């Protein structure tokens, strides 16, 4: 096993704990040596050395745990820190209790936990540290100080110097590592935001493209039928002028759709959001369907207050058109479009598209299935939700919910302000 590579790819906070333990183990061994050889303070060597050795084994075991593919969870990190608190308390018990300046290491563990654990577990760890510190005031093994004048003061000065130097180095190192982690996290957040913006752009462009392709197919079919009839007949049919008018209206809609697609091809234009009245948006979509599909029987019902406003760009009406076109494909004889405000939340617009087609089971076989998925993603960009269910009497019900807001009375006549999605 390549421990170096395993350590490099381990979670950042666990790597910090491993390094912090290694520094603490070396410092504890140095303090034990100086106390025994220089100051002639003979602490219980066997239990103290055993605890330091066990601490080293715990650190090695943590390094070996990194090879396991299971993620490092918050409870596991909490258990790791509880082990540190327990070992520190045992060491303090054999080395003078709470009077030992090494008790400051509790604070460093809490500082680390504040960045590695959720608040609830940090408070639990703080409670454990406080309880251990208070208990060490009453339960500990007194240090066997040599009987010489000034030894108590020398011991106090020496240990405080070592411990404060040790704590200062660890805090500085930990602070540097923490700032590095925060910088890396900010870079990840920025990269994620850029990725999310690209995905939103692609979803919007896909919604426009699929809708435009669908709208182009209808006049092309009408042109094919009309030209076929003219080629087969020696004289023009009596209703050829009506057919030309229908075709002309469809061509104008196609030009409008292509112009919208071309104008929204840029990232800035595609993401430009405006405030539109909910009733006007639904009415406009219905008119587009009637002009594009005059053979479809559309039942329209709009019960929306005049001051309800939605956030919309080029993709929102096109997404609604995708659902209507799909309903018209499977049920040209009867398509229903209802728009009402939610009874409980008057700032929520509820749109239902109903058809009498074969139902949900046949939807995956439809050529417009991909357009439905893209339209659903486009609606979700505006905080909307889409629910598709089967009707009891046959057919499909597409329920769309979109969040809205109200415009002020004195702002009704002003031009809607553009925003960025």
Tokens of 175: 């602070």
Specify the CATH number for 206-420; select among 3.30.500.10, 2.40.10.220, 1.20.1740.10, 3.30.565.10. 3.30.565.10
CA atoms within 13 A on the CB side of 94: 17
pLDDT digits (tens, 9 = 90+) for 367-382: 456 667 777 877 887 8
- State yes or no: pLDDT of 11 exceeds 90: no
377-397: pLDDT as tens digits: 778 878 899 999 988 888 899
For residues 36 and 145, is the Cβ–Cβ distance under 8 A?
no
Give the integer Cα–Cα distance in Å for 159 and 67. Answer: 38
Tokens coding 231? 């080629």
Sign of CA dihedral 111, 115, 121, 123: positive
Q: How would DSSP label each residue in 221-262?
A: HHHHHHHHHHHH-SS--TTHHHHHHHHHHHHHHHHHHHHHHH
All structural domains of the chain with their residue ranges = 3-146, 206-420
Q: Are 13 and 185 in contact (CB under 8 A)?
A: no
Structure tokens at 278: 């909910």
DSSP sequence for 299-354: EEEEE--TTEEEEE-THHHHHHHHHHHHHHHH-TT-EEEEEEE-SS-TTEEEEEEE
pLDDT for 291 equals 80
- Tell me the average pLDDT across 156-166: 64
Task: State the burial class of residue 44 (Cβ atoms within 10 Å of its Cβ: 0-12, 13-18, 19+).
Answer: middle
Token digits of residue 286: 């219905």
Q: Which residues contact 139 (CB under 8 A, 6 or more apart)?
A: 93, 97
Q: How far apart are CA 316 and CA 230, in angstroms?
A: 38
CB 273, CB 312: distance < 8 Å: yes
The helix/strand/coil state of 173 is helix
The two structure tokens encoding residue 134 = 């208070």
Question: Among 5-9, 259-263, 334-338, 353-357, whose mean pLDDT is lowest?
Answer: 5-9
Cβ proximity of 304 and 279 under 8 Å: yes
Nearest to 138 by CA among 84, 109, 83, 99: 99
Q: Which token pair is 414? A: 């002003």
Find the helix or strand (DSSP H, E) in which 400 lies.
Answer: strand 396-403
| Kind and range of the H or E run holding 419 | strand 418-420
| Structural tokens at position 369 | 């299935």
pLDDT for 319-341, tens place per residue? 898 889 888 888 888 899 999 99
Q: Supply 110's token pair.
A: 């809490």
Identify how many contiguous H helices and E strands the chain contains and give both numbers.
Answer: 12, 9
The answer to whether 54 touches 87, Cβ cutoff 8 Å, is yes
What are residue 309's DSSP bridge partners? 277, 405
Please give the pLDDT value at position 261: 58
Name residues whose C-beta falls within 8 Å of residue 347's C-beta, 6 or more positions apart in sequence: 308, 341, 403, 404, 405, 406
User: What tokens were used for 186?
Assistant: 């900010």
Tens digit of each residue's pLDDT (9 = 90 or more) over 125-153: 999 999 999 999 899 888 665 555 555 56
Alpha-carbon gap, residue 125 to 135, rounded angstroms: 15
Per-residue pLDDT band at 114 (split at 50, 70, 90)? confident
pLDDT-based confidence at residue 90 (cuts at 50, 70, 90): very high
Q: Tell me what percent of the residues of the chain surpass a pLDDT of 70.
A: 65
- Mean pLDDT rounded to a whole number for the chain: 76
**Secondary structure element (H or E) that encloses residue 375, with its range:** helix 369-380
Q: What local confidence, expressed as pLDDT, does residue 364 receive? A: 43
Is-contact 45 36, C-beta < 8 A?
Answer: yes
């Amino acid at each position: 096993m390549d421990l170096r590579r395993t350590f490099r790819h381990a979670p950042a906070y666990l790597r910090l704990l491993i390094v912090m333990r290694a520094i603490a183990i070396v410092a504890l061994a140095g303090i034990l040596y100086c106390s025994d050889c220089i100051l002639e303070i003979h602490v219980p060597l066997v239990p103290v050395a055993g605890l330091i050795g066990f601490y080293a084994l715990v650190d090695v075991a943590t390094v070996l745990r990194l090879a396991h593919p299971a993620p490092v969870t918050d409870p596991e990190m909490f258990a790791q820190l509880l082990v540190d608190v327990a070992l520190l308390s045992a060491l303090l018990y054999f080395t003078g209790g709470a009077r030992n300046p090494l008790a400051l290491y509790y604070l460093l563990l809490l500082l680390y936990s504040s960045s590695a654990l959720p608040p609830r577990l940090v408070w639990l760890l703080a409670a454990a540290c406080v309880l251990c510190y208070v208990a060490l005031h009453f339960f500990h093994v007194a240090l066997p100080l040599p009987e010489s004048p000034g030894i108590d003061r020398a011991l106090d000065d020496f240990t405080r110097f070592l411990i404060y130097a040790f704590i200062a180095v660890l805090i500085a190192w930990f602070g540097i590592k923490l700032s590095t982690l925060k910088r890396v996290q900010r870079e990840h957040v920025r990269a994620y935001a850029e990725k999310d913006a690209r995905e939103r752009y692609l979803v919007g462009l896909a919604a426009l493209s699929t809708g435009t392709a669908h709208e182009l197919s209808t006049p092309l079919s009408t042109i094919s039928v009309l030209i076929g009839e003219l080629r087969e007949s020696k004289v023009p049919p009596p209703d050829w002028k009506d057919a030309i008018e229908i075709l002309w209206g469809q061509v104008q809609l196609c030009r409008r759709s292509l112009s919208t697609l071309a104008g929204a091809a840029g990232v800035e234009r595609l993401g430009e959001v405006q405030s539109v009245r909910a009733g006007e948006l639904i009415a406009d979509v219905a008119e587009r369907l009637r002009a594009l599909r005059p053979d479809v029987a559309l039942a329209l019902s709009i019960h929306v207050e005049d001051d309800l406003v939605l956030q919309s760009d080029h993709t929102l009406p096109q997404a609604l058109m995708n659902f209507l076109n799909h309903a018209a494909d499977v049920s040209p004889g009867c398509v229903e479009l209802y728009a009402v405000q939610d009874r409980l939340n008057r700032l929520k617009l509820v749109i239902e598209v109903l058809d009498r087609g074969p139902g949900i089971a046949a939807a995956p076989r439809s050529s417009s299935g991909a357009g439905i998925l893209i339209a659903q993603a486009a609606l979700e960009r505006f905080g909307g939700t889409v629910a598709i269910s089967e009707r009891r009497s046959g057919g499909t019900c597409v329920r769309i919910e979109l969040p809205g807001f109200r415009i002020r009375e004195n702002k009704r006549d002003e031009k809607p302000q553009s925003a960025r999605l």
